[in-house]
Amino acid sequence: MVVIDDSGVKSYPFAMNEKKASCIFEYIYFARPDSVIDGQSVHDARFMMGRVLAREAKFKGDIVISVPDSGTTAATGYAYESGIPFVEGLIKNRYIGRTFIQPTQKKRDTSVKLKLNAIRSVVAGKSVIMVDDSIVRGTTSGKIVNMLKQAGAKEVHMCISSPPIGYPCYYGIDTSVRKELIAATKSVEEIREFIGADSLHFISLEGLKSCVSEVNADDMCYACFNSAYPIADGEKPAGDSKYVFEQRKK
Ligand code: SF4
Which residues have CB under 6 Å of ligand 1?
23-25, 169, 171, 173, 221-224
Q: Tell me: pLDDT of 54 over 90.
A: yes
* Residue 195: its H or E element: helix 188-195
In the reported structure, the alpha carbon of residue 167 is separated from the centroid of ligand 1 by a whole-number distance in angstroms of 9
**Residue of 84, 71, 43 lying closest to 160 (CA atoms):** 71
In terms of residue numbers, what domain contains 198?
20-242
Q: How far apart are CA 101 and CA 107, in angstroms?
A: 10
Residue 194 lies in a domain: yes
Q: How far apart are CA 196 and CA 83, in angstroms?
A: 26
Q: How far apart are CA 215 and CA 224, in angstroms?
A: 19
CATH number, position 52: 3.40.50.2020
Please list the residues that pair with 157 across neighbouring strands.
129, 199
Encode pLDDT of 22-35 as tens digits: 999 999 999 999 99
Residue 12 lies in a domain: no
Q: What is the pLDDT of residue 19?
A: 81
Residue 15 lies in a domain: no
* Residue 127: its H or E element: strand 127-132
**Residue of 140, 230, 135 lying closest to 185 (CA atoms):** 135
Encode pLDDT of 226-247 as tens digits: 999 988 655 544 444 444 444 4
Q: What is the pLDDT of residue 144?
A: 95
Q: Could you tell me where the DSSP H helices lie in 131-174? A: 139-150
In the reported structure, the alpha carbon of residue 244 is separated from the centroid of ligand 1 by a whole-number distance in angstroms of 14
Residue 5 lies in a domain: no
Residue 96 lies in a domain: yes
Q: What is the mean pLDDT of residues 75-82?
A: 98
Q: Please work out, in degrees rounded to the nearest 5, the angle formed at the alpha carbon of residue 89 by the alpha carbons of 87 and 90.
A: 130
Total structural domains within the chain? 1
Q: How far apart are CA 159 and CA 129, in angstroms?
A: 7
Residue 176 lies in a domain: yes
Q: Tell me: pLDDT of 99 over 60.
A: no
Across 45-49, 70-74, 171-175, least confident range: 171-175
Residue 80 lies in a domain: yes
Q: What is the pLDDT of residue 171?
A: 83
User: Which is the closest atom of ligand 1 to the Cα of 165?
Assistant: 2
Q: Which residues contact 109 (CB under 8 A, 6 or more apart)?
A: 139, 143
pTM of structure: 0.82
Neighbours of 123 (CB within 10 A): 26
Residue 99 lies in a domain: yes
